């Protein structure tokens, strides 16, 4: 009897082609090579930003895709200009953007710590430590570091708020006038906080004078706008003025539908023109009767109405954007109205002084309108001096960072800077690691070394040996209560007058740790491009 032939499964056999589920050029990276890719991304950012860190940090010249250039040492600005491709690099860019959005400062610190965490992790992974063990150890270390923050936090006062502003300004374009700007920033935010909830950097406007130097900068209790004043003989130099804010046109409202008006004789035409003139007069009288000395509007201004107002010594400025109208309203304490016919005296705001300056020699057609001396401004302006466009822009960027940091400090605790808090957190993590009996201890020690990257970089950029400084900081952390960090010239120093809002330090550490731990969970990198 013949034995039945056994059929070979379709998946078997040497001649059977392999099943393909991805394009041939797809590249899959696994094992230790994955970590190498992550480390390369981390090292690129660390090497790029490290020289810019701290009060002695150097600048980068950025050549943008649109052909313009910028000179800065601001980590957020540098990262924003990078066109990254690697997914790990994109994760770090996302981390930097999140830190900038939340705190406005600490981007470079975040990048340095995250890079160091990954570099330290790579060393342990090569020795056979499991990625999840590393992650567990980093999580324990993060908790110990946050406990140290609890111990070192202190409530702000006026002196420490000025120190926060100074700390954020150091190493930036405005540092040349540090003692001039720092109290100005605190004063600006203090004024705003008295007149609105949640004073923030966005409530302090910036205006470039284009002349003088940084020390010619001043604080204005109001706003400054650039717009053309249509008539030369409109009133200037108004004192104790009442000002109206209109979101709309200062003219006869146009018909929204196509309407045909038939005029059969000259008398009807005269009546029509007379009615329009009467309507214009009614609009002007409404403004005059309100007691306004000036009116700001977002739309166009009818010439006849403008002349009526000028005859009554009322200044009218049109074509402001909606943001400028809102700022004017906040500064003046005025209510924004939609129609001039609705205007009442109670809608008006006040200012101590209103002037406008004609700039005939400028390339544009804009005049400078200054509204100052507002009694209860919810928005103020820093008028920034300086003739150089690039230098002034960098100074404004530094002022904005300082405003962000100082506004945070108004409502939260402070932590000592100059690398001292990172050195103390490193000591706390090492102490906590001694209670761990497993391999997590190795990860915690690596976390502590990563924290010390901050003071080490400050020392290196200050021209000193980072290893010697870190060892001195370790000894200081074991022996005393007073915070010891790195001075501007790169030496160990008992920290005096260097403070950060807690959220800047805490958000930076948490973001760096979580990003590093997320990367350590990656076991494969799949590239559809084949790179």
The per-residue pLDDT for 152 is 93
Q: What total number of domains does the chain contain?
A: 3
Q: How far is 43 from 395, CA to CA, in rounded Å? A: 29
**Is the predicted pLDDT of residue 380 greater than 50, yes or no?**
yes
Domain holding 342, by residue range, is 236-376
**pTM as predicted:** 0.81
CATH of the domain at 169: 3.30.260
The per-residue pLDDT for 61 is 84
Same domain, 433 and 501: yes
The per-residue pLDDT for 415 is 95
The answer to whether 347 touches 332, Cβ cutoff 8 Å, is no
Enter the tokens of residue 26. 């797809």
Q: Three-state SS for 159?
A: helix
Q: How far is 67 from 84, CA to CA, in rounded Å? A: 19
Does 194 map to a domain?
yes
What pairs with residue 250 in β-bridges?
A: 301
Residue for token digits 């002022």?
399
Q: What are 53-73's pLDDT values in tens digits?
A: 888 888 788 777 777 777 777
Same domain, 395 and 434: no
Residue 37 CB contacts under 8 Å (≥ 6 apart), including other chains: 29, 86, 88, 525
**Is the predicted pLDDT of residue 396 greater than 70, yes or no?**
yes
Region 201-221: mean pLDDT is 91
CATH of the domain at 316: 3.50.7.10
Lowest mean pLDDT, pick from 98-112, 219-233, 267-281, 303-317: 267-281
What does R_g of the chain's alpha carbons equal in angstroms?
32
Same domain, 357 and 484: no
What pairs with residue 93 in β-bridges?
A: none
Same domain, 184 and 86: no
Q: What are 73-87's pLDDT values in tens digits?
A: 777 778 777 767 777
Residue 310 CB contacts under 8 Å (≥ 6 apart), including other chains: 231, 233, 234, 235, 316
Q: Is 84 left (phi over 0), alpha (psi -120 to 50) or beta?
A: beta
Region 17-36: mean pLDDT is 60
How high is the mean pLDDT of the chain?
85
CATH of the domain at 137: 1.10.560.10
Does 10 map to a domain?
no
The answer to whether 355 touches 383, Cβ cutoff 8 Å, is no
Same domain, 319 and 275: yes
Region 47-58: mean pLDDT is 86
Same domain, 407 and 424: no
Does 313 map to a domain?
yes
| Side-chain-side CA neighbours of residue 390 (13 Å) | 11
Same domain, 211 and 266: no
440 — pLDDT class (breaks 50, 70, 90): very high
Q: How far is 109 from 454, CA to CA, in rounded Å? A: 7
Give first-to-last CA distance, the chain, whole Å: 60
Region 38-64: mean pLDDT is 82
Does 6 map to a domain?
no
**Is the predicted pLDDT of residue 29 greater than 50, yes or no?**
yes
Same domain, 122 and 203: no
| Side-chain-side CA neighbours of residue 136 (13 Å) | 11
454 — pLDDT class (breaks 50, 70, 90): very high
521 — pLDDT class (breaks 50, 70, 90): confident
The per-residue pLDDT for 252 is 74
The per-residue pLDDT for 1 is 46
Same domain, 208 and 288: no
Same domain, 210 and 296: no
Q: How far is CA 71 from CA 109, 131, 401, 523, in A?
A: 20, 40, 16, 39
The residue count for the chain: 531
The per-residue pLDDT for 256 is 47
The per-residue pLDDT for 455 is 96
The per-residue pLDDT for 126 is 86
Same domain, 207 and 136: no
- CA 95 to chain CA mean position, Å: 14
CB atoms within 10 A of CB 100: 21
Does 5 map to a domain?
no
Q: How far is 174 from 418, CA to CA, in rounded Å? A: 19
364 — pLDDT class (breaks 50, 70, 90): low
Does 282 map to a domain?
yes
**Is the predicted pLDDT of residue 255 greater than 50, yes or no?**
no
Last residue of a domain, one of 358, 392, 412: 412
Q: What are 456-513's pLDDT values in tens digits?
A: 999 999 999 999 999 999 999 887 778 899 998 889 989 988 999 999 999 999 999 9
Does 230 map to a domain?
no
Strand order of the β-sheet with 218-220 is 204-208, 380-384, 218-220
Last residue of a domain, one of 376, 403, 434: 376
Does 15 map to a domain?
no
Q: How far is 424 from 148, CA to CA, in rounded Å? A: 7
**Is the predicted pLDDT of residue 320 greater than 60, yes or no?**
yes
**Is the predicted pLDDT of residue 195 greater than 60, yes or no?**
yes
What pairs with residue 242 in β-bridges?
A: 350
Pairing of strands 315-317, 294-297: parallel
Q: What are 421-432's pLDDT values in tens digits?
A: 999 999 999 999
Same domain, 105 and 187: no
Task: Report which of 513, 522, 525 is spatially closest to residue 136, judged by C-alpha positions.
Answer: 513
């Amino acid at each position: 009897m013949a034995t039945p032939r056994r059929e070979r499964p379709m998946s078997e056999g040497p001649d059977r082609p392999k099943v393909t589920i991805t394009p041939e050029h797809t590249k899959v990276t696994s094992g230790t090579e994955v970590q190498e890719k992550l480390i390369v991304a981390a090292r690129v950012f660390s090497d790029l930003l490290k020289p810019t860190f701290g009060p002695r940090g150097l600048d980068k010249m950025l050549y943008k895709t649109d052909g313009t250039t910028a000179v800065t040492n601001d980590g957020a600005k540098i990262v924003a200009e990078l066109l990254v491709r690697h997914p790990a690099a994109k994760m770090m860019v996302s981390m930097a953007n999140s830190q900038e959005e939340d705190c406005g400062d600490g981007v470079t610190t975040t990048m340095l710590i995250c890079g160091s965490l990954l570099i330290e992790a790579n060393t342990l992974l090569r020795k056979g430590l499991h990625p999840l063990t590393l992650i567990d150890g980093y999580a324990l270390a993060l908790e110990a570091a946050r406990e140290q923050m609890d111990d070192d936090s202190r409530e702000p006062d006026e002196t420490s708020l000025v120190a926060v502003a100074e700390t954020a300004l150091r190493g930036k374009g405005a540092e040349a006038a540090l003692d001039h700007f720092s109290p100005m920033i605190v004063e600006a935010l203090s004024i705003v906080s008295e007149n609105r909830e949640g004073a923030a950097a966005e409530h302090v406007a910036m205006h470039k004078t284009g002349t003088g130097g940084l020390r010619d900068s001043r604080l204005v209790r109001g706003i400054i706008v650039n717009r053309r004043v249509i008539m030369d003989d409109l009133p200037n130099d108004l004192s104790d003025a009442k000002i109206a804010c209109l979101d709309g046109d200062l003219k006869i409202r146009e018909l929204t539908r196509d309407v045909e008006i038939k005029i059969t004789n000259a008398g009807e035409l005269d009546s029509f023109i007379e009615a329009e003139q009467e309507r214009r007069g009614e609009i002007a009288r409404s403004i005059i009767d309100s007691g306004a000395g000036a009116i700001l509007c977002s739309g166009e201004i009818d010439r006849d109405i403008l002349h009526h107002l000028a005859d009554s010594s009322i200044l009218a400025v049109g074509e402001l954007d909606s943001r400028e109208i809102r700022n004017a309203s906040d500064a003046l304490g005025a209510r924004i109205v939609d129609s001039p016919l609705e205007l009442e005296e109670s809608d008006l705001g006040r200012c101590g002084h209103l002037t406008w300056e004609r700039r005939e020699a400028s390339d544009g057609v804009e005049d400078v309108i200054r509204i100052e001396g507002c009694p209860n401004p919810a928005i103020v302006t820093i008028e920034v001096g300086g003739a150089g466009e690039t230098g002034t822009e960098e100074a404004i960027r530094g002022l904005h960072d300082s405003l962000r940091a100082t506004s945070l400090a108004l409502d939260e605790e402070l932590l000592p800077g100059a690398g001292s808090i990172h050195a103390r957190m490193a000591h706390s993590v090492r102490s906590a690691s001694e209670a761990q009996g497993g391999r997590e201890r190795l990860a915690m020690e690596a976390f502590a070394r990563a924290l010390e990257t901050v003071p080490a970089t400050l020392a290196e950029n200050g021209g000193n040996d980072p290893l010697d400084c870190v060892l001195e900081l370790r000894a200081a952390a074991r022996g005393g209560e007073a915070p010891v960090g790195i001075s501007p010239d790169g030496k160990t120093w008992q920290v005096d007058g260097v403070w950060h809002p807690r959220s800047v330090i805490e958000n930076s550490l948490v973001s760096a740790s979580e990003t590093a731990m997320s990367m350590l969970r990656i076991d494969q990198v799949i590239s559809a491009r084949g790179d």
